[in-house]
Structure 1
Amino acid sequence: MRRPVSLSLTLLATAALGLSACKRVEAPAEAATPQAPAAAAKADGALDATANDNLNAVLWMQRAQEYKAITEQTYRAAADHLDVALREAHWDALVPEERGNDAKGLKPAVVLDVDETVLDNSPYQARLVRDGKEYDELSWDQWVAEKKAKAIPGVVDFAKAANAKGVTLLYISNRAVHLKDATLANLREQGLPVADDSVFLGLGTVVEGCEQAGSEKNCRRRLAGQ
């Protein structure tokens, strides 16, 4: 990897998907009607709790002003701290074993996850609710190939501010490496800075001397810090 990491940001936007709507709101464009098979009424008239929770979560993420306010506030706060972080030569968010580049004089970088941190995949989740289905790799790959995910509110302004200060954006994601081209195209279309193909570190990235355990990101984080 050509760049060190001296800045790190992880937006916990995924927490939003675990929250239910507090009031009835308009259904999302791709959620369709709750009469889908998985959300259809049971014989006793009760709705499937899991499907309902998923629908509520999608509605909250797509329609709640609180969600938009939270993500924008988080990214504004991150942007406000860029100058302070850049002035401190040894400031970073790496654990000791992920360090290794301080003496190489390479550009600072911000590490970002992709899904629900940079890109909003709630339309894909809405389709699953509508069609009474669950996540599977085929439907997920098809969604990624569409390159239709929108940017999380606030992330583009933050990313552009970081890029303007000479900071490289690194995307460490559990999207598989074969989805790299579609993911980078989606990021670029949404206005996210993409320096080159090497900034995407997807699941399956080979890191010499480091054995990856399942989907954990430790090896890729170590690579980002070398």
Structure 2
Amino acid sequence: MKSSRASSRDAILRVFAEHVAARGYADTSLGDVASELGLSKGTIVHHFRSKEAMLGELHVAYFGRRFAEASYIGAELDDPVERLIAMIYALLAAHRDDRAASLACLRELVRYFDGELNEFVRTQRNAYTEILVGILRDGAEQGVLHTTDPTMSALQIFGMCNYAWTWYRPDGPQSVEEIAARFARDILGGLTHPASNDSGLDERIAAALAVVQRVPGRLVTRTSLATTSTA
């Protein structure tokens, strides 16, 4: 007998995300999702009109979690540098802690621009981009970040972090915390300057990572628990 938990929308979306992450959107069927949960295909259709609707709701939930993280970061950190570090870490941590949804949304994102979700997805992406642009603009105005084009700098950071799905592996040689620290040092220090042991920057990186780890309701995996305890 199936449990109410197995037939919940969250459970259905979770399994759908896992299938899309593993097989791709085109090769994922509602029947496969229903079978894994011990449900009828009709139950899936009752909750979601179609596979495209499920992909759309997966995107809504995924970006909802990213916006919640960004809101918490903004409330907890006043310093633009630490807010920037925290955003870099949050983007990278999603590849580990929200991995199936990250793969499903980032890899399959192009599909949204061919369907009814076009404008909604574009609005969500633009709104999230503006959060990072705002951090960079604040930093530039305060003289602690140096960029003449905050929008282009934001796109550079998104490209660096979001593209990590192509190479990052949770069981790889470096933890997300180590990768986030490296990215932060490279972005903040600039690749044209020699590496230095900046204890002040190390402390700010540690503080920013700790804020993201405290986000209420944040997804946590066994891997993240292991790596953050040793970071």
- Give me the TM-score of the superposition, normalised by structure 2: 0.30
Pick the structure with more helix per residue.
2
Pick the structure with more strand per residue.
1
Q: Which has the higher contact order (CA 8 A, sep 6+)?
A: 1
- Give me the TM-score of the superposition, normalised by structure 1: 0.30
